Amino acid sequence: MNFAAAPKRPDSLLPTPILQQTAFWSRVKARTGWIPQAFDLRADGLLGDLLVIRRPAGPDSQIAYVPFGPEPLPDDAARGPWLEQVSEALRPHLPDTCVFVRYDLPWESPYAREPELYGPDGTWAGHPDDPIRELRMNWGTERGNLRKAPTDVLPPDTVLLDLAPEEDEILARMKPKTRYNVRRAARRGVRVRTGSPGDLDDWYRLYRETSERNGIALHGIEHFRSVFSVPLGRSEEAARPLLLLAERDGFPLAGMILTIAGRRATYLYGASSSEGRSLMAPYALQMEAIRRARDAGCREYDLFGVSPGPDPGNPLHGLYRFKTGFGGRLFHRQGCWDYPYDPERYAQYRAREAASKGFHTVNGGQ
């Protein structure tokens, strides 16, 4: 196969339901210190395009990161060879100091489709150990160079909610307690409004409180200012992120950033106060997000980040219980995979990173 990566302007990226592969996201990341590059992927014709972002990783070294890409999905057996060809096609267009390229794959894990990995109650057993996953991914490659990253940047496990049914049916598909809490929040006077850039300080206070409460690293406020201040192209105007705030009597109880890209809405960041928890504000917030997404023509809502199953020991177990209550289906992505260009420096970077596994934010967003 004659495979090539042809450079293009990030502003010319094709429309996609994957927010992190849009021209808008390239501008957000450029505001926060990343260097965006875009490419057409070609092999006897256009296969799609790709956003790659780079940043320094130490003296005279950089890393390249592909957030939720590539989007084109080859057959299971061809995934490793295909990623190898993409990586080698990118190599001439990346600096000589680039240590590796990391793919945060949006593809469903092949292990999520193997019936023998599910228990009698339908619980997924999860991925096998990394050496087994690497053996499968590298099958058929020329170099055997693909490595499972020691950490996943964006959450590989999520809940996808079908927005095609009418609202009454969406409510009927929720777990009884979730449906009760949605209605309880409304009865107790919780109202959701669209926030403005002037509300970012209130949002960030909730976000910081949530991060500290759950022991999760957080972005600086400048990241969120960038999300709401980068210019949008004409075709992107409908996709401007929404800051939603759930309040009672003007007091902010919970907030979220909702993004829309094509047919998909994404719950990108979420936060809540420790006060007034009995008011069930996060449930009101999600119900309003569902309504806004449906009104915008979305057919899928990505709740973005849960534990892979009902394991109380997983730090995302609380999010699993909350988000699965809305009636969606679990979706297990393949997570982050690395293709080293400089094996020695990659080994050094990997050793440093392995000591700090985990997600970077409450609800993703790299």
* Element at 355 (helix H, strand E): none
In this predicted model, what pLDDT tens digit does every residue of 260-319 receive, in sequence order?
888 999 999 999 999 999 999 999 999 999 999 999 999 999 999 999 999 888 888 899
Query: Distance of alpha carbon 239 from its chain centroid, rounded?
Result: 16
Residue 274 contacts residue 224 (beta carbons within 8 Å): no
Residue 357 contacts residue 153 (beta carbons within 8 Å): no
Tokens of 339: 């293709």
Question: 87 and 109 share a domain?
Answer: yes
Among 72-86, 96-110, 289-303, name the one with the lowest average pLDDT.
72-86
Among 15-24, 214-223, 281-290, name the one with the lowest average pLDDT.
214-223
Residues across the chain: 366
Model confidence at 353, pLDDT cuts 50, 70, 90, reads confident
Question: 224 and 182 share a domain?
Answer: yes
On whether residue 165 sits in a domain, the answer given is: yes
In this predicted model, what pLDDT tens digit does every residue of 238-253 receive, in sequence order?
567 899 999 999 999 9
Residues facing residue 39 across a β-bridge: 7, 50
On whether residue 361 sits in a domain, the answer given is: no
Residue 129 belongs to domain spanning: 3-154+333-356
Pairing of strands 300-302, 329-340: unpaired
Predicted pLDDT at 229: 86
CA 242/CA 199 separation, integer angstroms = 12
The type of residue at 112 is A
On whether residue 366 sits in a domain, the answer given is: no
On whether residue 363 sits in a domain, the answer given is: no
Question: 148 and 162 share a domain?
Answer: no
Query: Distance of alpha carbon 352 from its chain centroid, rounded?
Result: 23
Cis? peptide before 70, omega within 30° of 0: yes
On whether residue 362 sits in a domain, the answer given is: no
Question: 303 and 350 share a domain?
Answer: no
Question: 169 and 316 share a domain?
Answer: yes
Assign residue 137 the CATH number of its domain: 3.40.630.30
- Helix axis angle, 79-90 relative to 130-137, nearest 10°? 80
Tokens of 162: 């079908």
On whether residue 365 sits in a domain, the answer given is: no
More confident residue, 98 or 77: 98
Model confidence at 360, pLDDT cuts 50, 70, 90, reads very low
| Residues whose CB falls within 8 Å of the CB of residue 175, separated by 6 or more in sequence, listed in order | 324, 325, 326, 327
Predicted pLDDT at 82: 94
Question: 191 and 149 share a domain?
Answer: no
Among 25-29, 151-155, 358-362, name the one with the lowest average pLDDT.
358-362
Predicted pLDDT at 319: 92
Rg over alpha carbons for the chain, rounded to the nearest Å, is 21
Question: 230 and 350 share a domain?
Answer: no
Residues facing residue 332 across a β-bridge: 157
Total structural domains within the chain: 2
- Judge whether residue 48 has pLDDT over 70: yes
- Judge whether residue 51 has pLDDT over 50: yes
Among 89-103, 307-321, 348-362, name the one with the lowest average pLDDT.
348-362
How much of the chain, in percent, has pLDDT values that exceed 90? 73
Tokens of 291: 């309504």
Average pLDDT, the chain: 91
Among 48-52, 169-173, 349-353, name the one with the lowest average pLDDT.
349-353
pTM of the predicted protein model = 0.92
Model confidence at 236, pLDDT cuts 50, 70, 90, reads low
Question: 175 and 324 share a domain?
Answer: yes
Residues facing residue 53 across a β-bridge: 36, 65
Question: 68 and 136 share a domain?
Answer: yes
Backbone angles phi, psi at 279, to 5 degrees: -80, -10
Helical ranges in 97-255 per DSSP H: 130-137, 167-173, 176-187, 200-214, 221-229
In this predicted model, what pLDDT tens digit does every residue of 182-214 receive, in sequence order?
999 999 999 999 998 889 999 999 999 998 887
Predicted pLDDT at 239: 62
Question: 240 and 311 share a domain?
Answer: yes
On whether residue 364 sits in a domain, the answer given is: no
Residue 168 contacts residue 353 (beta carbons within 8 Å): no
Question: 55 and 170 share a domain?
Answer: no
- Helix axis angle, 176-187 relative to 281-295, nearest 10°? 100
Question: 90 and 18 share a domain?
Answer: yes
- Judge whether residue 95 has pLDDT over 90: yes
Q: Which residue has the tokens 């998909």?
A: 264
